[in-house]
Structure 1
Amino acid sequence: MPSTEWIESAGGPLVVIPRSVIAEWKGTPADYEEACGIEDYLGLLCREWGDVLVLGDEPLRTGVVARPEGPVIVRWMFAPSTERLLDVALHAKLDELSALETLRVGLRDEVYGIFDSGADGSSAVMVE
């Protein structure tokens, strides 16, 4: 049975940041407010040290599933159970799905952290 470590916020959006610059995110009130300004499912905040991917809209329970083509971020919006959600995330034919939104993000070839935008980067769960 597939599993994931679920990541939850204290009510605000989650952010996704490369490990090499994760300490730059301090979770200050200004950081948090800017992340909360993202009203779509995804948004990008540009910083001197790199881009911050914001998982906006609602503070949904979030996990990462390892697929053959790479890690997939899963946000639990509607599913009857953890098992069913993860099964769909692992076996869905991603190229046959329609995107709700699109956002072009330049990714680095490194580990990323996902954590509450109101927290310091040291609290991140790392995604490999």
Structure 2
Amino acid sequence: MARYAEPGALEWVESGGGPLIAVPETVLPFWAGADSEELDTDYDRACEVDGYVGLLPVGDSAALVFGDEPAATSFLPDHATFVRWSAANSEEELLAEVPAALDTAAWGSEVHWRVPGPVLLFDSAWPGGSAAGQEHLRIDLAPGSYAVRAAYVQPGPETWVGLVQLRRLGH
């Protein structure tokens, strides 16, 4: 697979062309990806998500689907934000623009996501049971409910970044 995000300060996850997905570790075995006998696979359901983010039921929980474009994605715990690399000359340039992007973002409507704990971010085409053996990122989220909002921002002349921010509810 072509790597667009050069190795640097963060680990980046990319897909083979479809959406990325964050699935709670406890329900990973229930995500079949594109490997299913069903006519409408889990991967097909992920591809049908409209907008920047959406939720899909998985087991007794839900997965967060990163829609729109298959941009390289990482997580910034200090901002509780997934960062999606749409355009930038370097990781350093992209990350330097994140604070301004967060301040100026025109956020879309929120979805509420309840998680039982840590999640794995990976290509939605992979079955959850094999995700740990593929390119993935583990995000150590505390159990609870989160408000999730997303935006695409152009904080610099050659920098476009997608933001998916989590805000813990009622903890």
Coarse TM-score class (shorter-chain normalised): 0.7 to 0.9
> Counterpart of 1:94 in 2: which secondary structure?
helix
CA RMSD of aligned residues (A): 2.1
In 2, the alpha carbon distance for the partners of 1:75 and 1:94 equals: 13
In 2, the alpha carbon distance for the partners of 1:83 and 1:108 equals: 31
Structure 1 residues without counterparts, runs of 5 or longer: none
Structure 2 residues without counterparts, runs of 5 or longer: 1-7, 36-40, 141-171
Aligned partner of 1:19 in structure 2 is 25
Structure with more relative contact order (C-alpha pairs < 8 Å, separation 6 or more):
1
Aligned partner of 2:52 in structure 1 is 41
1:86 maps onto 2:86 in alignment = no
| TM-score, length basis structure 2 | 0.63
What whole-Å deviation, never above 9, does each CA across 1:45-73 have from its counterpart, x for those lacking one? Answer: 12442111110111111111121xx5310
Aligned partner of 2:106 in structure 1 is 98
Distance of aligned partners of 1:4 and 1:20 in 2 relative to their CA distance in 1, 3 Å threshold: same
Q: Could you tell me the percent identity over the aligned residues?
A: 35
| TM-score, length basis structure 1 | 0.82
Larger Rg: 2
Aligned residues: 123
1:119 maps onto 2:107 in alignment = no
| Misfit runs of 4+, over 4 Å | none
1:38-77 equivalence runs, <5 A: 38-67=49-78, 71-77=80-86
Give the partner amino acid of 2:139.
Answer: V
In 2, the alpha carbon distance for the partners of 1:41 and 1:116 equals: 15
User: In proportion to residue count, which structure has more strand?
Assistant: 2
Distance of aligned partners of 1:108 and 1:61 in 2 relative to their CA distance in 1, 3 Å threshold: same
1:9 maps onto 2:15 in alignment = yes
